[in-house]
Chain A
């Protein structure tokens, strides 16, 4: 089983979001970067499958050199080697082209991704890569078992889930409870330092330009209703907020 796991290096879920340079750049000052939480599920399942079925797990990130901290953590968790495409990935299509270009050079049985990045939240890179490679793409996958060359999966849909079967190779966007998040152990951290990390240059151009960022307007004060008059809330929602 030859698995590629695509990971993002993203601001921690509690990070304060702000911008610099006239609201054109994300303010990295004081922000801790983590592996995308969904990408962590993808990696954990990949490592479990490798432990069970043998094979290799390669980690791929499209990002600048400061993503390497996240890449090393993925190696510590159990990936065998890593590739970084050296660029600032600003657009889903551009990111997908980088991933598809690498994947087309190798025959991966599985390409695992997160359901969505937690910075841009698009949930489209897996579909784009699947199309570019001419293989099926499915997301969000919450269960994945491999039997020979067949994958048996459960995918979440609005209000429920569906069971799916397809032949490898596949591109999948993962979410819980596909695996338990793995935490690197000491041995993993030591060996990660010497595992190969290849840096390649990007191909192609962006199809979009991000012009500027804005923050939402601050919330007004919360109107408190005393518990003894709780029923008044309903009248306020109807007559003042006009949402009933």
Chain B
């Protein structure tokens, strides 16, 4: 197994799928000549040419719609948003067009396409550039929503996304591109809709996804020193959600902390907690606690930004609380 960055894992997935199926093309701002704003598409223009690696004007709504139209007649577009913050300009195409086309056409027009790009906060990019969109997007029937947290999942899930005949929203962690991890050699596919227990433990479950998986692992390392073991469930896919994996973990540990990057109200964690209270009510030894961004737009100042974000310290405190150790 090779150790590669999250970025290179994504590039591998793109390259392999572009080679595998000539209906697949990549479209977005700066994806071709510039090699991608985050260099995820590095080298692809040279290999596949300008008809398949397509630089667009700054026109998110327009090119997202071009992707939808191309998918309607059988191509397999990958639409890259420079970041998901800018995808708001295209949300009509994602929500009103891609997600609905199959249903409102009575099953005649499927949408084999991927909308992808970086999601969530990086460092000091402040309010408009530091947002996690998964709870918004996961709300929509007709979409699949993926949030890989590791290089292996990034590669395996992106390949599944490109092969899927449905519109897939693929949320990459903006802070994850440089992280490294082992990626299996050769064909590596991760199924959509299947969570993974990233760390086995028995004292408390952490249910999380995306970038916060790394935070959860850090907390698990920390608490292991105190003899507390955590079961870290990485959802990997938000829609459809692997509720069996959540139930299995909570039934084992009887306690849970749900960690996400986004805001609290109507967040992904709210859905997870709802599921736990319905399906695992008798298993619980403590109320479930959620960790999330503070209910404020992301501030710029370093100290304030740190206060606003969910992090290892907040997660650790939450775990101690559900273990009644605080």
Is B truly associated with A? no
Interface residues of A (CB under 8 A from B): none
Interface residues of B (CB under 8 A from A): none
